[in-house]
Structure 1
Amino acid sequence: MDENKAVQYLDSLIGRTLRVHATDTRIFVGTFKCTDAARNIILASTYEYRFPSPATVRDAATGTNDSAAGSAVDASNVKVNMTSRFIGLVVVPGQHITKIELEEPSSSRARDPLKK
């Protein structure tokens, strides 16, 4: 892709919802505002998602902790929800970005984009 097409593509993403994966396994979902030559990304109205800690998964599997609320347990599977929080405006450093996904609009999706 030549430079002009790359710039046009980035321009087309401004105002769209992106899902940005970081090296520490966090996922940021927010409105794309801009980027720079260092590949830093600025997102607005951003939610941060984290995978549950090993202790939370262990507690959910054994049913020993009430903090496992929002989890489901059956004989062979344990399901524990990701934790999330609203962080607003965020700069994700380019060196820590592992993947970027475009969030496709869906009228049936709730405000929380990772909940289905």
Structure 2
Amino acid sequence: MDENKAVQYLDSLIGRTLRVHATDTRIFVGTFKCTDAARNIILASTYEYRFPSPSAVRDAATGTEDPAAASAVDAQNIKVNMTSRFIGLVVVPGQHITKIELEETPRQIRAREALKK
């Protein structure tokens, strides 16, 4: 992709919701505001998501009242929610970004499909 097309593509993302994955496994979901030559990304109205800690998973696994079920933890699947918090405006350093995803709502997908027709 040449430089002009790259700039146009980045311009088209301004104001859209991005999901940015970091090297420490955190995920930031917010409105894309800008980037720079060092690949730093600024997001507004951002939520940070973290995977549950090993102790939270262990607590969920042993939180059953049935001792027989607690001993069979390895045989079952445990579901534990990610933790989240609102952090507002954030700069994600480019060196710590592992993946960027464009988050589209069902309404945005329908609008995009309608334009193709």
List gaps (5 residues or longer) in structure 2.
Answer: 65-72, 108-117
**Cross-structure match for 1:62:** 62
Residue 94 (structure 2) pairs with residue 94 (structure 1) = yes
**In 2: Cα distance, 1:59 partner to 1:88 partner:** 30
Q: What CA RMSD, in Å, does the superposition of the two structures yield over aligned residues?
A: 1.4
Counterpart-to-counterpart distance in 1, 2:47 and 2:24: 15
Q: CA deviation at 1:40?
A: 0.1
Unaligned runs of 5+ in 1: 65-72, 108-116
Task: Give the match for residue 50 of structure 2.
Answer: 50
**Counting helix residues as a fraction of each chain, which structure ranks higher?**
2
Residues matched between the structures, number:
98
Instruction: Name the residue aligned to 2:79.
Output: 79
Q: Residue 28 of structure 1: SS of its match in structure 2?
A: strand
C-alpha separation in 2, matches of 1:34 and 1:105: 21
Instruction: Give the TM-score taking structure 1 as reference length.
Output: 0.81
Identity percentage of aligned residues: 93
CA shift at 1:23, angstroms? Answer: 0.3
TM-score, normalization by structure 2: 0.81
The residue that corresponds to 1:10 in the other structure is: 10
Q: Distance in 2 between matches of 1:87 and 1:51?
A: 16
What CA distance in whole angstroms lies between the structure 1 residues aligned with 2:51 and 2:78? Answer: 14
- 2:114 aligns with none
Give 1:34's aligned residue.
34
1:62-113 deviations in Å (ceiling 9; x for gaps): 107xxxxxxxx9x611000000000000000000000000001235xxxxxx
Q: Distance in 2 between matches of 1:77 and 1:10?
A: 40
